Structure formats: C-alpha cells, structure tokens
Amino acid sequence: MITLVKRPTPSQFWAYATPLLAVFATMVAGGILFAALGKDPIAAIKVIFYDPLFGPNAAYFRGQLLVKAGPLILIASGLAVGFRAGIWNIGAEGQYIMGALAGASVALAAYPAESHLLFPAMVVAGALGGWLWGMIPALLKTAFGTSEILVSLMLVYVAQNFLAYAAFGPLKNPDGYGFPGSRNLQQYPSAHNPELIAGTGMHWGVVAAFLAVIATYVLMQRHIAGFRIRTAGEAPRAARFAGVVPAKLVMFCLGLSGAFAGLAGLFEVAGPNGQITDSFNAGYGFTAIIVAFLGRLNAVGILLAGLLMALTYIGGDMAQLMLGLPTAAIQVFQGMLLFFLLGFDLLTHYRLRLGRARA
C-alpha cells in the first residue's frame, strides 16, 4: 500500500521535473493513441516533435513556430498572473475575439487612409477591446460576487456570435462580392502587421509576447504587486490582513489577461490571419490555459511551454499532411499533456511512502 505524506514545502526538484515527466508520459500515451489509430507511433512522434525543427523543411516550419507561439505566450502570460491569485479567467478566447474586432474596426474605419499612427491606434484599440471584455466578469465579480469562471466563459459564446455578426454584417468587405469576412488587412499597408525579419515568423505580436514575458516576470518576482498576487492565491485571509484589496486584484488580473488576449487577437488579425471571418479564432485562448499550467504559471516556463505547444500544432499539421493523422488527435494530445501534468503535480506537494500511514 502506498500512502501520501504531505511535504512541509513544495519540492523544488519536482516543480521542475514534473513538466518534463508529463511531456515524456504524453509522448508515450500519445504514441499508444497514434498506434491505435493505425499510425506508426515512433514516426508520428518524430514528425510532430523532431521534423518541424530539424527535418528537411525545417526552415519554413521554424518560422511558423513563432507565429503560433506568439499568441499562446502572450495570452498565457496574462492568464497565469490571475491563476496565481486564484482568479480564473477562462474566457480568453472571447477577449481575443473582441480585441481583434476592436483593432480591425479601427483599421477598417480608416480605410484607405495611410498613416503611421494607424497601427499604434489599432494596438491600443485591440488591448482596450480585450480589456473591456475582461472587465465584464471582473465588475460582476466585485459588485455582485458572480463567478468569473462562468461569466468569462459565457462571454466567449457571446463574442463568437458577435464575431459572426460582424463578419456577415458591419465589417463585411464591401468589395468582397457578397462573401462574408472583412477586407484583408494584409493588403492595407498602414494596418498590416508584417513579418519583421523575413523567414523568422517574427511579427509585432511575437515582440509583444516576449515583452509580456519580461513584464510578468518582473511583476511577479520583483514587484510588491506580484507578492500580493501570490499571497492572495495561497492564503487569501493572510493577504487581506496584509492590505490586499480583493476587488482591485480581481480587476487588475482580469483586466490584464483580457488586454493581453485582446492584443494577441489584434496582432493575429492584422498579421498572419489578415481578415475578420466568422471562424477567425482558432482556440488559442483555450490552449493558452494549458500553456499557463505547463509553464507552472511562471513567466519563463510559459515561454518554453508556449514554444512546445506551438510545436505540437505545427507537428500536428505536418502529421496530418504526411501520415493522415486527424487534427483532433493533436487536441487529444494536448489535453493528455495537461492531465499528466496535473496528475504528476502530486509529487511536488506529497511524498510517496510504502506501507500504511500511522492512524
């Protein structure tokens, strides 16, 4: 019989080791899944994890890596701050959509005027759009005590319908021959978020993601606000005695994560995606939750986790192309990763002992 003994303090070693162990276990379990789907598991794992980085067409895929990792890292950085405080914003997908809509609306309103001020204005609008959408659950939580989990999630579906409404209605391209979807911002120089260094996939959104990592690192590790956020998450009562105002914390965390998600949406619509369509959002807001946990809610961890998760996206696309692996298999794979991570986290907080516990 194995019993669990709670560790007095979380194990430093396992805090770093569990994500690696979880990735390894996911590869094994994923391999079994791929084998069950009738694919060679070793080949599938190689196509997903190795080929995009070092395979024959790696030069192209490495660029894609930053394109996919950028929004994931940007959103997850914001979410992790809230998760640390025990504030669960799970509606980042909605904030992402609203940021993209707000930013794109500014661009489409200005069309076809060219100005250097347009893109910065779009960035501000994008952040504001996401921030406002994040403030709805924040205000309802602080004013009425409504669960931010449910409200932020419900707002994802509202945002999705709003996106479809905008794509078919007010933002529809007047020169689009009746097809739904807005003008393509990639063909509008002032509004376009271009690749900054050819072939790297680096665009302003990736820059913003790196800045977000640095900013949240400083905030959480070097600033009193970060200390307060962590205290509020680990010992809410103690935090209140230390002068933390819960309402302010809720507003800050949901506002910050909303703004980051909104920015991610804006950079996506102005850059790699180019266009507001009803299926513009690709689930980054939800995958970012996995990224935040895989990165152990830590800024640097999120950077690495975001890159890894982006790799599974690209590798998944490749595996679909080369092995006929269904796209959904990658979603399952990502879900499994989160399960293993949460399960193995036991080792961080508890020691395993053989034999029965003393009664």
Is 263 one of the binding residues for other proteins (CB under 8 A)? no
Gap between the terminal Cα atoms of the chain = 14
Q: Which is nearer to other proteins, 227 or 350 (CB)?
A: 350
- Min dist CB 161 to other proteins, Å, is 4
Which residues 6+ apart lie within 8 Å of 330 measured at CB?
Answer: 48, 312, 313, 315, 316, 319
Is 290 one of the binding residues for other proteins (CB under 8 A)? yes
Closest by CA to 213, choosing from 66, 72, 70, 77, is 77
Q: Which is nearer to other proteins, 123 or 261 (CB)?
A: 261
Size of the site for other proteins (CB under 8 A): 52
Q: Which is nearer to other proteins, 221 or 279 (CB)?
A: 279
- Min dist CB 85 to other proteins, Å, is 13
Helix (H, G, I), strand (E, B) or coil at 2: strand
Site string for other proteins, 196-235 (x = CB under 8 A): ----------------------------------------
Exactly one of 124, 154, 245, 300 binds other proteins (CB under 8 A); that residue is: 154
Site string for other proteins, 165-194 (x = CB under 8 A): x--xx-------------------------
Task: Dump the DSSP string for 258-319.
Answer: HHHHHHHHHHHHHTTS-S--TT---SHHHHHHHHHHHTTT-HHHHHHHHHHHHHHHHHHHHH
User: Max Cα separation, the chain?
Assistant: 76
- Min dist CB 44 to other proteins, Å, is 14
Q: Which stretch binds other proteins (CB under 8 A): 56-64, 145-153, 225-233, 259-267?
A: 145-153
What the block records as the tokens of 8 is 């007095």
Q: Rounded distance, CA 223 to CA 50, Å?
A: 39
Q: For tokens 């770093």, what's the residue?
A: 16
Is 109 one of the binding residues for other proteins (CB under 8 A)? no
Q: Rounded distance, CA 220 to CA 222, Å?
A: 6
Helix (H, G, I), strand (E, B) or coil at 1: coil
Exactly one of 1, 8, 144, 198 binds other proteins (CB under 8 A); that residue is: 144
The residues in 50-89 that bind other proteins, with binding defined as CB under 8 A, are: 88
Q: Rounded distance, CA 138 to CA 250, Å?
A: 6
Residue 139's Cβ-count burial label (10 Å; 0-12, 13-18, 19+) is: middle
- Min dist CB 194 to other proteins, Å, is 31
Exactly one of 118, 135, 151, 318 binds other proteins (CB under 8 A); that residue is: 151
Site string for other proteins, 320-359 (x = CB under 8 A): ------xxxxxxxxxxx-xx--xx-xx--xx------x--
Helix (H, G, I), strand (E, B) or coil at 7: coil
Exactly one of 58, 121, 132, 158 binds other proteins (CB under 8 A); that residue is: 158
Q: Which stretch binds other proteins (CB under 8 A): 100-108, 116-124, 143-151, 222-230?
A: 143-151
Q: Which is nearer to other proteins, 149 or 304 (CB)?
A: 149
Q: Which is nearer to other proteins, 211 or 357 (CB)?
A: 357
Q: How does 26-37 read in b/e, with b if 16+ C-beta sit within 10 Å?
A: bbebbbebbeee
* Alpha helices, DSSP H, located in the chain: 12-36, 41-49, 51-54, 58-84, 92-110, 118-144, 148-168, 204-217, 224-234, 236-241, 246-270, 284-294, 299-323, 327-344, 346-349
Which positions touch other proteins (CB under 8 A)?
A: 4-6, 37, 88, 90, 140, 143-147, 149-151, 153-158, 161-162, 164-165, 168-169, 286-287, 289-290, 293, 326-336, 338-339, 342-343, 345-346, 349-350, 357
